[in-house]
Structure 1
Amino acid sequence: MKMKFLGSLLLFILPVYIYAAVAAFTGKVTDVKTNEPIIGATITIPQLKISTTTNASGEFTFGTLPARGRYVVEVSYVGYQTSIKTVDLSNPASLTFTLTPSIIEAREVVVTGTVVASNSKNNSTSAAVVSKEDLQGSYTNLIDALAKQVPGVSQITTGPGISKPVIRGLGYNRVVTLSDGVKQQGQQWGDEHGIELDQYQADKVEVLRGAASLQYGSDAIGGVINLVEPLAPAPGKIRGEVLSNYSTNNGLTGSSLMLTGNENGFVWRGRGSYQNAYSFKTPAGYFPNSGFNNTNLSGMVGLNKSWGYSHLNFSYYKNNIGFFDPETVNDLYTTEHSRTLDYPRQDIRHYKVALNNNFVIGEGSLKVDLGYQKNQRRELEDSADPSLFFDLNTYSLDTKYSLPARNGWEPVIGLSGSIGHSVNKAEEKLIPEYNAYAAGIFGFVKKTYGANTVSAGVRYDYIQNKGKQLFEEGAERFPGFKNNFSSVSGALGYTHVFNEYVNFKANAGSAFRAPNPAELGSNGVHEGTFRYEVGNGNLKPERSYQADATLEFGNGILTGSVGVFENYIHNYIYASNTNNETIVVPTEDLGTYPVYRYGQVNANLYGAEASLTLHPVSFIHFQNTFAYTHAQNNTFDRPLSFIPAGTLRNTLRFEPKVKGLHEFYFYAGVDNYFKQNRIDATFETPTDSYTLLNAGIGTTIKLGAQRFKVYVSGANLTNKRYYDALSRLKPGRISQDNLNLGVYNPGRNITFGFYMPFNLK
């Protein structure tokens, strides 16, 4: 029935192909000072997922565009400030883009993950964009890279192998990770459940801070991480990239190869990636069985035509992660670090198929994203036979119709829905088998007048969770549940561009998140967290009321931003261990487990984020970022648990001209993490402040027209002993009568790597 519905939808929208008209769009890119053509500049139309480059005369051509419609065009080149214009294709006159030489290349960018793709200056959402080259360094995964570069983003870690994103103090099912236009569904409720994504696959990553529930629904109450895949090249071109890196701390080796092509509008892409690491090393020794390995295979085939695009994406991700064995508690550290994983460990497999479409209808467009995901999570206790085995299948539909813009008004309406079905395939049980249904509809409008842009939207959601009752040995294990949740959310946004150097943005609105099946129905030992978890079938939805404001500024010497946010959450859901409650489980190795029960409180989170970069001369950059989140459990008048510590990062980067080398740089940085004494002392321990020293060097070597980037980066160069506030391995975070971990975060790590983009045709 699901496939009949999807097929009927496609049959309804496919006829727009027949009536599509064709327009051509040409232009030229020049240097604003010399008027000389710029060769090799990249021109992108993100809404149509197409790009091209300028020829030897600085000229470019898009030959198969819709005959009508307004589209954002982004022009970029290394060493120049990005230029962004909105082009009306009903009058596709040849345009000249003049680029200004600048030591700041990416202050002005297009953000695509919001309801309306637009210049970041005119977008009220607090957003940060991280490029592919910025994702390369001493990072163990994608979330680790974002947490160390984007103010307000942090990570819940279980060693280097698992990182869960946290935005402004909110994580788990409150942050949406988006890839191929589809929300990643990998059972995000678990403490030790990371995201099943290839860290090498993104061409750039957009981080939307604050509620993005208007477009993405219930789970985006904290923000969105949007992975943007590389665009296909111009027709007749084939290009690719190869990259590899090695890290000394845990022997992490990673490699990825990608090819993408365009033959008269038939586009394709293929990628293969592999990572392998042994146990990570702390200043006190190696932490046993903390290695991991993962394999990712992905591809895309599709059409880019004058009627829009249709792309079929598919991927397979397999991840194996070792876990600490409580029976060896007296040996927290070892000198051994084999790449062979022992038990216990996780075996995770994620399959995804996504059909992404954007159909041009007159001057409007209809975007349709269809997705299917299968997430299989096996927890292997002492053999290949899983002790826990979650099998989750998710079908999703997201549509967005952008009506023709009139007099500066840009209206959008959207519809989304998903069906999730989870079964248990192992003898042990933690959560009941369940079905989850979600549907939502929203309306949004954006208006630009002069230097001002205002936006407003409203959304209605309906969510149903049905947990299956289960009896074991004559006793009820899961009572079963059926919960229906619905809510109306709204958002207001405002931006003002004072001049080319200063702009202001602000947002206010409400959002909601329905409790997930694990929070509603858990009842069992969670092997990866060493605790007994008990759900609550009477939980109510979380309701968030939040506001933020950001001032952005920049010229040739000084660039930066400063922002504040406030987020009041009614019925905030979290699991806690109160009164040192324990339970004896005779069939388990540890015997006695702490009991964590899900409950609700009223919470208030507020804080600030700031960045400041000084450019005293063209080759010196002094980069500084700051982030702080204050979180209070108002119900019990104590701090909220598991909140990141404040951070201050300072990096001095030099980019001198060196003969024979291109884009040469070296840097030294100091990361300062504040004390985190604001904890829920009933089951959490504080962490001391610490400072980490980092440094790196890199350059691009040109062999003819071929670029070859090599780099060396180092993290925690002083081999500092420290515990991060969000590490699940810090003292007291995991505790039983006979288990109290206190494992340091990774020590010194040096990463060697290269990145080589290339053209085959």
Structure 2
Amino acid sequence: MSRLFVCCLLFIGFSSILHAQSSQLSGRVLLQGVPVPNAMVHVDSTFYTTTDQHGVFTFQAIPYGQYVLYVRHTGLQLFSKRLQLCKAIHYEQDITLAWQLTTLHGIAVHESVSTKKVQESAMNLTIVQSDFIRKNLGGSLMQSLDKLPGVKSIGIGAGNSKPLIRGLGFNQVMVVENGVKHEGQQWGADHGLEIDQFAAGQVEIIKGPASFMYGPDAIGGAIDIKPISLPLAHTMGGTIDLAGKSNNGQWAASGYFYVRTNRWFLTGRFSLSEYGDFRVPADTVHVYSYAVPLYKQHVRNTAGKERNIHLSTGWLGKKLASIFYISRVYNKSGFFANAHGLEPRRVNHNLHDRSSRDIQMPAQEVTHHKIINKTTFNLQQHHIEWQNGFQHNFREEFNHYVNHGYMPPVYPTNRATPATLERSYKKSVFTTALKDEWKVGQHQFTIGANAEWQHNQIDGWSFLIPAFTQWQGGLYVYDKWRVNNQVILHGALRYDLGRIKIEEYADWFPSAIIENGDTSQQYLVRSTAISRRFASLNWSVGISYEPGRVFMKANLGSSFRMPIAKELGANGVNYHYFRYEKGDATLSPERSYQADISLGWKDEKMHITVSPFFNYFPNYIYLNPTSAHDYRYGAGNQVFYYAQSEVVRYGAEMQAQYSFSQQFEATLAAEYLYNEQLSGAKKGYTIPFTPPPSALLSLQYNIPFKQGMKDTYVGVEYRAVAAQNRVVPPERKTPSYQLFGFNAGTAIRCQEQTINIHLQIKNLFNTRYLDHTSFYRLIELPEMGRNIVLSLQVPFTWRKRSEEAKGS
């Protein structure tokens, strides 16, 4: 591997020498005749700079070749122009920008620079802006993105969910926030991401393996959450976001402020949210054959609240910029009281039904702290980024003490662990990543390295997964070769190395062990000490081809994922599923091979894309149910153990948009996924949480008001979901269903501010249905009933850039 990596470096070095010829490029950026300071100017995605206080920018040395010059600034239209640099002379470009007017329509909203990034990528990439999230506001960020084909969420309750991309989730999908991999307790479906959706500026979704750039945990895809754009120089202001939901009485408020001088800036966001028990269109549900009546159709004890704080500050120079992101995300929520523990009957209905807004046990509290620094260097031809992050995730589950097996009937008073603390997890994570981008002729090279160290501690009277320490690192090289204006070739190579050390865990209570007729009391070891090392070399090749209205992208690659501590060392009752789970210390890493193609056609009225894919796992890791039952710890619960099997997956997504006129348009999004286990105990079956085929049809009419209001629209939605009859036992089949929705919105001009209003009515006809990717679907609990969602965004400005510019 070392020889291969050295050869790559030598090749890049010799290429740099052979293409040393360069040109100078400078210019001035104006807005209505006034210089625009601190505008971002970049040549392709390789050379970056910002304009000075007079609107002037300069690039000292750019190699000969064809480029695209971009100039962008918050609130202004993106400027782009193709350049041909072929002589060692000084090129000058004077650029006039215009104010940005945005019209929202369709499933995903893209700015020009985002559209170009999507077109040039060989991977299946979708980019959505914060306007899309506000327009489709859900209980969590992932629930706000579930209109995108191939993207779903494993939800528990109204405010918690995990991402699911093409049927893969948990540690198979990587979530990145502000450039750093988000690390929580992502192995569990019973809690959501510690992400504030109000703080998301732009979200990039990669469907399919993205390991060569993001790392091993992106074996199924990646969700990259970008921050809100930096404020203009010499400005001060902010926004207030308000939201309300009828189904669970949720209210949410988020305040954002910013202030910036010429180089320094400071931003802050404070988000609050509270909600009650959500309602379903059912009076009774059956929890494993036991009938549970619902008081006023409320799913008891699913209320919750959030308290989030985000701060960012930094210095923005021409050649050096450094930004700090600091956040604290807090969530407290209850679990459906009849579906947690060993016995659904042990519920105090008088207590839990007294109020729909209190949070009783069982419940969870999650606090996630994050500190991130991103420093960029622009050194002639090189754009270098160095990112460092620290995260601390603290999750606690609270419940009344329940003894089983040889646990004492009464909880000991001399134990340091409280009797109400069922489980807790404390994870500390340090990450660092360094990459360098530069251009040599028509080649844009990226070389990078990243490393991560994490330590997870456990506590509580119940045991499921052991404490562990893990580190992993990787090196990669990526070449983006623009053959001509129509063809771009991509190639990447990545090497990863990692190690996980699992700590031994023994029961805090003795068990009676009979040996040779003698009975002794022993503290049984539930998890033995494990130390495993993993390494893998992976690759990716691709092409993007756009000759005109027709376009094509294709990508072929491999990836791998280390098994996690739960898969290697679990040995306990999972109260959320009423099952006993056991890990396997001998599991090998998951490997994946995938081919992904996107074919499309576009003109002034229509845009259609079809994206078929094929995915092969030689050793997919899954949780396999057995006929055994555990009576020592699990009170007779069925035993599930982690196993591996050969799995094939294939399917397709389709997006189409047609404009009947400037005001009326239709959007169709559809998806299909098939997977099958080719070996192992469940040969011939699918894998869990496989979403059924579905289609979403949206009709939208844009109302052209002349004064006072803009971006006004009304729309209806129709979602059809097929039955999912291909399940892996003990999963249950889910029937087909159809849903209708309504949405409307407008932007009201009030003096010099614009107030954005969005209205949604979800599940318009209060339909009872089961979502196959929902956590509660396992106990046949229907999804949330009719829900009216109203959101409002009010911007405010204390100081404008134009006033400062006129005085300069």
TM-score category (smaller protein): 0.7 to 0.9
2:46–2:444: 8 Å Cα contact kept in structure 1? no
1:290 Cα deviation after fit: 0.9
In the alignment, the residues of structure 2 paired with residue 76 and residue 360 of structure 1 have an alpha-carbon distance, to the nearest angstrom, of 18
Please identify the structure whose Cα radius of gyration is greater.
2
In the alignment, the residues of structure 2 paired with residue 81 and residue 264 of structure 1 have an alpha-carbon distance, to the nearest angstrom, of 21
In the alignment, the residues of structure 2 paired with residue 66 and residue 186 of structure 1 have an alpha-carbon distance, to the nearest angstrom, of 42
1:198 Cα deviation after fit: 0.3
In the alignment, the residues of structure 1 paired with residue 468 and residue 46 of structure 2 have an alpha-carbon distance, to the nearest angstrom, of 38
1:288–1:337: 8 Å Cα contact kept in structure 2? no
Write the mapping of 1:38-53 to structure 2, written as runs, cut at 5 A: none
In the alignment, the residues of structure 1 paired with residue 248 and residue 390 of structure 2 have an alpha-carbon distance, to the nearest angstrom, of 34
Q: Tell me the TM-score normalised to structure 1 length.
A: 0.87
2:36–2:55: 8 Å Cα contact kept in structure 1? no
Change (3 A) 1:343 1:519: same
Selected match of 1:606 from 625, 650, 659: 650
Selected match of 2:553 from 489, 497, 505: 505
| Partner in structure 2 of residue 699 of structure 1 | 746
2:38–2:55: 8 Å Cα contact kept in structure 1? no
Write the mapping of 1:408-447 to structure 2, written as runs, cut at 5 A: 408-447=442-481
1:756 Cα deviation after fit: 2.1
| Partner in structure 1 of residue 489 of structure 2 | 454
| Structure 1 residue runs without a partner (length 5+) | 1-21, 31-36, 54-58, 113-117, 734-740
In the alignment, the residues of structure 1 paired with residue 94 and residue 488 of structure 2 have an alpha-carbon distance, to the nearest angstrom, of 27
| Partner in structure 1 of residue 28 of structure 2 | 26
| Partner in structure 2 of residue 550 of structure 1 | 598
In the alignment, the residues of structure 2 paired with residue 688 and residue 197 of structure 1 have an alpha-carbon distance, to the nearest angstrom, of 32
2:556–2:594: 8 Å Cα contact kept in structure 1? yes
Letter paired with 2:534: F
Deviations 1:498-517 (A, max 9, x none): 12x33211100101111011
In the alignment, the residues of structure 1 paired with residue 99 and residue 657 of structure 2 have an alpha-carbon distance, to the nearest angstrom, of 22
Letter paired with 2:270: G
1:758 Cα deviation after fit: 3.0
Write the mapping of 1:188-587 to structure 2, written as runs, cut at 5 A: 188-284=186-282, 285-326=297-338, 327-329=343-345, 338-382=356-400, 385-403=420-438, 405-450=439-484, 451-472=486-507, 473=510, 474-499=523-548, 501-579=549-627, 581-585=628-632
Letter paired with 1:416: N
1:23–1:63: 8 Å Cα contact kept in structure 2? no
Change (3 A) 1:626 1:514: same
| Partner in structure 2 of residue 172 of structure 1 | 170
Change (3 A) 1:90 1:452: farther
In the alignment, the residues of structure 2 paired with residue 238 and residue 49 of structure 1 have an alpha-carbon distance, to the nearest angstrom, of 29
1:215 Cα deviation after fit: 1.1
Change (3 A) 1:419 1:728: same
1:131–1:204: 8 Å Cα contact kept in structure 2? yes
In the alignment, the residues of structure 1 paired with residue 797 and residue 239 of structure 2 have an alpha-carbon distance, to the nearest angstrom, of 9
In the alignment, the residues of structure 2 paired with residue 408 and residue 599 of structure 1 have an alpha-carbon distance, to the nearest angstrom, of 47
1:295–1:319: 8 Å Cα contact kept in structure 2? yes
Deviations 1:600-636 (A, max 9, x none): 1111111111111110100011111011111111111
1:140 Cα deviation after fit: 1.0
User: Per the alignment, in what secondary structure is the counterpart of residue 139 of structure 1?
Assistant: coil
1:161–1:290: 8 Å Cα contact kept in structure 2? no
1:27–1:60: 8 Å Cα contact kept in structure 2? no
Deviations 1:656-705 (A, max 9, x none): 2134321111001101111111111x211111110110001111110122
Change (3 A) 1:201 1:107: closer
Change (3 A) 1:71 1:433: farther
In the alignment, the residues of structure 1 paired with residue 90 and residue 252 of structure 2 have an alpha-carbon distance, to the nearest angstrom, of 47
Q: Which sits farther off after the overlay, 322-331 or 666-675?
A: 322-331
Change (3 A) 1:538 1:692: same
In the alignment, the residues of structure 2 paired with residue 621 and residue 336 of structure 1 have an alpha-carbon distance, to the nearest angstrom, of 48
Letter paired with 2:541: L
Change (3 A) 1:491 1:194: same
Q: Tell me the TM-score normalised to structure 2 length.
A: 0.82
User: Per the alignment, in what secondary structure is the counterpart of residue 356 of structure 1?
Assistant: strand
In the alignment, the residues of structure 1 paired with residue 492 and residue 60 of structure 2 have an alpha-carbon distance, to the nearest angstrom, of 29
In the alignment, the residues of structure 2 paired with residue 249 and residue 43 of structure 1 have an alpha-carbon distance, to the nearest angstrom, of 44
User: Per the alignment, in what secondary structure is the counterpart of residue 643 of structure 1?
Assistant: coil
Change (3 A) 1:99 1:124: farther
In the alignment, the residues of structure 2 paired with residue 720 and residue 470 of structure 1 have an alpha-carbon distance, to the nearest angstrom, of 47
Change (3 A) 1:700 1:99: closer
Q: Identity rate of aligned residues, in percent? A: 26
1:273 Cα deviation after fit: 0.6
Kindly indicate whether residue 733 of structure 2 is the aligned counterpart of residue 686 of structure 1. Answer: yes
In the alignment, the residues of structure 1 paired with residue 654 and residue 137 of structure 2 have an alpha-carbon distance, to the nearest angstrom, of 23
2:35–2:53: 8 Å Cα contact kept in structure 1? no
1:648 Cα deviation after fit: 0.3
Letter paired with 1:422: N
User: Per the alignment, in what secondary structure is the counterpart of residue 281 of structure 1?
Assistant: coil
In the alignment, the residues of structure 2 paired with residue 620 and residue 330 of structure 1 have an alpha-carbon distance, to the nearest angstrom, of 55
Kindly indicate whether residue 741 of structure 2 is the aligned counterpart of residue 675 of structure 1. Answer: no
| Partner in structure 1 of residue 113 of structure 2 | 110
Change (3 A) 1:332 1:564: farther
Write the mapping of 1:713-724 to structure 2, written as runs, cut at 5 A: 713-724=760-771
RMSD over aligned Cα atoms: 3.2
| Partner in structure 1 of residue 93 of structure 2 | 93
| Partner in structure 1 of residue 291 of structure 2 | none
Deviations 1:534-585 (A, max 9, x none): 1110000111000111123322211121111111112101112122x32125
In the alignment, the residues of structure 2 paired with residue 607 and residue 622 of structure 1 have an alpha-carbon distance, to the nearest angstrom, of 24
Change (3 A) 1:315 1:102: closer
In the alignment, the residues of structure 2 paired with residue 45 and residue 335 of structure 1 have an alpha-carbon distance, to the nearest angstrom, of 59
Change (3 A) 1:471 1:82: same
User: Per the alignment, in what secondary structure is the counterpart of residue 166 of structure 1?
Assistant: strand
Change (3 A) 1:102 1:204: closer
User: Per the alignment, in what secondary structure is the counterpart of residue 160 of structure 1?
Assistant: coil
1:329 Cα deviation after fit: 4.4
Letter paired with 2:211: S
In the alignment, the residues of structure 2 paired with residue 566 and residue 40 of structure 1 have an alpha-carbon distance, to the nearest angstrom, of 48
Change (3 A) 1:233 1:711: same
| Structure 2 residue runs without a partner (length 5+) | 1-23, 283-296, 402-417, 511-522, 800-808
1:97 Cα deviation after fit: 6.6
1:292 Cα deviation after fit: 1.5
1:192–1:528: 8 Å Cα contact kept in structure 2? yes
1:255 Cα deviation after fit: 1.1
Selected match of 2:794 from 735, 756, 759: 756
User: Per the alignment, in what secondary structure is the counterpart of residue 282 of structure 1?
Assistant: coil
1:435 Cα deviation after fit: 0.7
| Partner in structure 2 of residue 139 of structure 1 | 138
Letter paired with 1:184: H
2:155–2:162: 8 Å Cα contact kept in structure 1? yes
2:446–2:478: 8 Å Cα contact kept in structure 1? yes
| Partner in structure 1 of residue 693 of structure 2 | 646
1:454–1:494: 8 Å Cα contact kept in structure 2? yes
User: Per the alignment, in what secondary structure is the counterpart of residue 462 of structure 2?
Assistant: coil
1:131 Cα deviation after fit: 1.5
Letter paired with 2:70: V
